[in-house]
Amino acid sequence: MIIFCLQSSNSFRPPSSWKDLLENNEFYILFFKLHAKIRQDEELCTKSMNCLIQLASLTGDCMPVNETEKSVRYVGLYLTNLLELFAQGPLPYEINLFCTIINRLFLYRPLTSIMKQENELRARFFIFLKEYTIHLTTQAMKKAIGDAEHDDHASLALIYDAITVLIRGRWRTSFEDADEADRIENELIKWPVLLIVNQFIQCVLAPPQGCRPLAKEEDDDGDDADDRVLFSDLLNPLGSMICYSVNEFLTNMTANLRKSLSEMTMIATGNGDVSRIAAWKEDQHWLMLIIATSVVGEEVDGACHIDGEVYDNTYHIFQTGVQYCPQKKIQYLQMCIEAPTSQNRAVFENEVDPFVRLMGELFAWSAVEHELFASGQVECVSPELCRSTFYALKRFLNAASSVSEYEKWNNYQGMSSEALPMLPNDDAFSRVLVRFVIKKVLAILVNYGSEERLCQDAIECLSGLVESRAPLIAASPELYEYLNNLDIAKLPNRADLMKVLVQIGAASNNSELQENMFKRILVPLAESFTELTKLESSTETDSQIVDLLQCFDGVAKASQAHSAGVLFKFLFSVINQCVALMRTRSHNETVVSTILQLLLDTTTKVSIYLDSEESNMLYATLLQIVDCYRTDQMKRFTGMTADDEDKGSDLVLFLDILSNVLSKDFLTLGEENVSTGAKVVITSLEMLLTIMNETILLMPEVALKFFRLILYLVEFSPEAIVEMSDGLISSLCQCMKLGMSGQFGTEIISTSLESLTEVVLHFAAADHKQKCTQQLAQQFKEMIPAVFETCLANTCDTSLYAESCSAVYSLIAFEKRFFEEYVSDLLSKKSNEAARHVLEEAFTQLLDAPMVTANRRGRIAFRAKMDSFLEKIQGLLSMFATVVTDQEEIEKAEALNLAAGLKYTIDHTWDGFPLTHDPIRLELKWKFERQNGRPHKRVVKITFDAPFFDDPEPMDPPGITPGLWDYEVMEFFFANERGQYLEVEVGPHGHWLCLLFDGVRHQINNGEDLELEVHNKWCGDRWIGEIEIPLAYFPARVSKFNAYHIHGAENERVYSALYPVTDGTHTVPDFHRLEFFQRINTRKLIPEGYGDRPFADFKYGDLWAGHY
């Protein structure tokens, strides 16, 4: 069972052979009884809880979910024992695992298996769930807000998610009697859920209304520290829980907001408790977050909607005969905006829909907040509270005025559109609403422009009205009144504001309004930009240029099909001026990067809608910018290393621009034309290939986008290859070959193979073959060894194996003779003499059928033949063109093994004192092993015999384990004279970690990518370990070695070293002090011919590439 608890799958699917065992109830009961006995031991308790978690999600052949009776019996047995075991609740270190159990029960068992339990058991379980959830809500929020500790918060989210599954589930079908289902729903679900919601609200309000503690500041000042982000895992499921009792929530929350607003009004007028201001602001902040995430939701694209339960509630009221007067709705909402502190709106209590009443109270608070800012009473408000207000206001405005929502729910079940819980479409009210929103948003931008996140929420709030009321916004005098006092280019959110303003103009669908906005907003910015470009470069001037370019970037991002033509004309004049800027500001990387960002968004959002003439205009300018970049910027990348990743951001932008150009032409011109866009890409590739060395390609994002660009080029315009020079073709093929080496990851191997397959198959077709140049054909021929070796090296990776088989197939289909010549050369090697007959027969069968281009069935059949081929050769084929043959390697390995490798004994502490426990003995040997159908094994094998102290093991399952040095561990270091070294750590429970360093503590891998073959066994109090370190892990010319053993906890840690620190100057152990390592005779460890440079194997490639 422990093995199954360590599996990565969330559900427990034991094999069918377990079926008899799992039909015995005592098997399950045993785990609960065992847990009761070991609960006080935290380590054993954790392992036991993991077993219970897996049992909670038991499924598969042994427990099919469609066998209802069996599932009900099992869940009944589980719940009975669970409630008995945790009658007093979980222990502190059990909380998260216990909540995971609850989560799994609801997510991985059919809800019917819970709801069909006996009345008494079902009631006990739901009462316990309610009481524990209320208890944990209080505890978790107290710790999260008061202590900034979020462990219990994360656990609570698991239960909230489970409750959401329950209330959204279709469990009512479990009951034939609808009245019984209603009773159960009200008693065990609806009212308990409402109590949980109320408890959460109590926890985020300060006394006397609630129990919120004083808040402790989070360490992170970024977006992740925002409450809306930090607590989203609670607020989102809480929204679903709220909607389950939506009418009660709307009534209660409306009362809360009204009471809160009344208190602030009294404080602001000097009639309230001023000492309550700080607590009140925090209360209001939480109320805003709760209403923003409850009855309205937001899609990924930012569009908002009113939750369906709100409409259902409105319809339910309609069914009772209540019909709200549309005019009353208008009067109420207008009063909330224009007279927010008036008590007269209480008369609308029973005359307006509950959702509209809540929305009105939100408007009232928003209006009061604006007045407080405007009157200078800033102590009564705060940027954080204002942000939360904008967040809620944007969601309500967008959801309640959504055209699509209106059309969806109009005449819903006989209700008229006026009765829907949405904003009125009345023109007079719309003007009031638009004026209110513009004043509130623009006042913040004008007066608090330095508050970037506040301005961002304000801008998003304005965007919430664009869809429904753009003409009114565009015609509003208040908009231009505020914009006249606002320097848009100085705002940190200038691009986002420009995007919204352009969207307003485009959505207004009125040429006069659009022309007015163009002249009053865009033209002044363009004129300023032109004047600045004429000035000499200076810090101030260049900074202003960057600001304006970012404004124009916002214009590009706002482009849509109906506005792209007009926007392109405006942007093209700017982009044309950027050609000169690329030269005069070539020394300013920020200006260059901003120009590239503008080009990226223009090719992403604008050019896709352009006709061929406009596209050609853009491409001509792009070619000029490419030329400027080649002349002035390429020298920046000379000598770059993988550590200069920030300098590679330009390359990422450039590659994205070129990808956009290619995809646009493919969509509009078709794939039979060598498009102007493809020519832009070819020109750019000629430039990029001069710098795309192995070092730069070690930057993951640059490498991925570069190889994807090659794939897009050969997919969208393979015929453009003919237009390339011989040198460019050669460089391109070399890049594909480099991508197949494996040093940049499996995705790039796959992309390189796919690229090669596409271009080869294109030119292998009969109507294209005459276009294939001799140079290109020769490049295809030279690619055969790399592709075939990649195929053989990746037989265990299904995806890579399939891609490489397709690439081999395409090369054979292009020119079978080339492959036959390669095979002939391969079989002529001395190392293949003994098995030549078997190999010849295997290759003959592999090639016996004709290869037809663009034949998917042919490729599938070829892969099947390749499978058969690999079975037949059984590792007999020597395909590596190395001087050392397999037989010679075996002889060398045998000679080294006879010499017994190297042996060491660790018998001192790190600082030179004798150990108080038995010594640790090590043995290092070379190991070579031939593997069928795969690259041979070349490893350094280390065997060690150490005392076993049985310290607590890591919580992670066996395997790669960051931070392993904090546990009982053996560590081995291999270094060279250049300060490059390999660190290998291994623990007694199957954990390991392999790290590569170029310089002391200068890590070049993340430690989470290198596998290790580890075998451990315990013999009494001894730990016998055996590891195999692949040759590829070692740096070049290893000359020094050290080994360490660590055990014990905290202040009692014992550090043992093969070569201790001996100068007496260090008081703290540090295993990275290379000066104390001693010489190692690698001639007794690694065969001659290896070790002079890192070994590149077919699994990891060259791990030390760029560090020679």
The Cα 228–Cα 239 span in angstroms is 13
Nearest to 135 by CA among 83, 190, 211: 211
Choose one of 486, 516, 536: the last residue of a domain: 486
The answer to whether residue 821 sits within a structural domain is: yes
Q: What is the CATH number of the domain that holds 1003?
A: 2.60.40.1190
β-partners of residue 1027 are 942, 1014
Task: Give the distance between the most distant pair of CA atoms in the chain.
Answer: 103
Count the neighbouring beta carbons within 10 Å of the beta carbon of residue 575: 22
Show the tokens assigned to 543: 């900074």
Q: 673 in helix, strand or coil?
A: coil
Residues whose CB falls within 8 Å of the CB of residue 121, separated by 6 or more in sequence, listed in order: 76, 79, 80
Nearest to 80 by CA among 122, 40, 30, 109: 122
Burial letters for 886-907: b for 16+ Cβ neighbours within 10 Å, e otherwise? beebeebbeebeeeebbebebb
**pLDDT computed for residue 185 by the predictor:** 85
**pLDDT computed for residue 127 by the predictor:** 96
Containing 115, the helix (H) or strand (E) segment is helix 111-115
426 and 333 belong to one structural domain = yes
Containing 144, the helix (H) or strand (E) segment is helix 119-146
Choose one of 685, 702, 723: the last residue of a domain: 723
Work out whether strand 991-998 and strand 959-960 pair parallel, antiparallel, or are unpaired: parallel
The answer to whether residue 877 sits within a structural domain is: yes
712 and 735 belong to one structural domain = no
Choose one of 708, 723, 738: the last residue of a domain: 723
Q: 445 in helix, strand or coil?
A: helix
405 and 280 belong to one structural domain = yes
299 and 403 belong to one structural domain = yes
Nearest to 716 by CA among 752, 673, 652, 682: 673
Cβ atoms of 762 and 713 closer than 8 Å: no
Residues whose CB falls within 8 Å of the CB of residue 182, separated by 6 or more in sequence, listed in order: none
Containing 503, the helix (H) or strand (E) segment is helix 494-507
The Cα 888–Cα 471 span in angstroms is 83
Sign of CA dihedral 480, 485, 489, 490: negative
439 and 546 belong to one structural domain = no
Cβ atoms of 968 and 1047 closer than 8 Å: yes
The answer to whether residue 1016 sits within a structural domain is: yes
**How far is the CA of 457 from the CAs of 261, 394, 551, 555, 952, in angstroms?**
22, 8, 18, 19, 48
523 and 666 belong to one structural domain = no
β-partners of residue 197 are none
Burial class, 361, CB count within 10 angstroms (exposed 0-12 / middle 13-18 / buried 19+): buried
Q: How many residues does the chain have?
A: 1108
Show the tokens assigned to 566: 């007009």
The Cα 501–Cα 483 span in angstroms is 11
The answer to whether residue 99 sits within a structural domain is: no
One-letter amino acid at 592 equals V
The Cα 59–Cα 108 span in angstroms is 8
**pLDDT computed for residue 64 by the predictor:** 64
**pLDDT computed for residue 804 by the predictor:** 92
Show the tokens assigned to 1073: 């002090």
- Count: domains in the chain: 5
One-letter amino acid at 634 equals M
Cβ atoms of 235 and 226 closer than 8 Å: no
924 and 1014 belong to one structural domain = yes
925 and 1069 belong to one structural domain = yes
699 and 783 belong to one structural domain = no
pTM given for the model: 0.72
For residue 1030, what is the DSSP state?
E
**Residues of the chain with confidence (pLDDT) below 50:** 1-9, 666-674, 880-899
165: alpha, beta or left? (left if phi > 0; alpha if psi -120 to 50) = alpha
The answer to whether residue 178 sits within a structural domain is: no
Q: Which domain holds residue 734?
A: 726-881
**pLDDT computed for residue 894 by the predictor:** 45
Cα-only R_g, the chain: 35
Cβ atoms of 459 and 449 closer than 8 Å: no
676 and 776 belong to one structural domain = no
Q: 272 in helix, strand or coil?
A: coil
Q: 326 in helix, strand or coil?
A: helix
Taking the mean position of all CA atoms in its chain, how far away is CA 326? 46
Cβ atoms of 83 and 124 closer than 8 Å: yes
Omega prior to 208 cis, within 30 of 0: yes
**pLDDT tens digits, 391-432:** 999 999 999 987 666 666 666 667 777 788 999 989 999 999
698 and 768 belong to one structural domain = no
The answer to whether residue 792 sits within a structural domain is: yes
HEC assignment per residue over 446-479: HHCCCCHHHHHHHHHHHHCCHHHHHHHHHHCHHH
Q: How many CA atoms does the CB half-sphere of 565 hold within 13 Å?
A: 4
Phi, psi (rounded to 5 degrees) for 789 = -65, -35
The Cα 954–Cα 961 span in angstroms is 8
Q: 373 in helix, strand or coil?
A: helix
670 and 764 belong to one structural domain = no
The answer to whether residue 840 sits within a structural domain is: yes
Phi, psi (rounded to 5 degrees) for 424 = -65, 150
Taking the mean position of all CA atoms in its chain, how far away is CA 902? 46
The answer to whether residue 828 sits within a structural domain is: yes
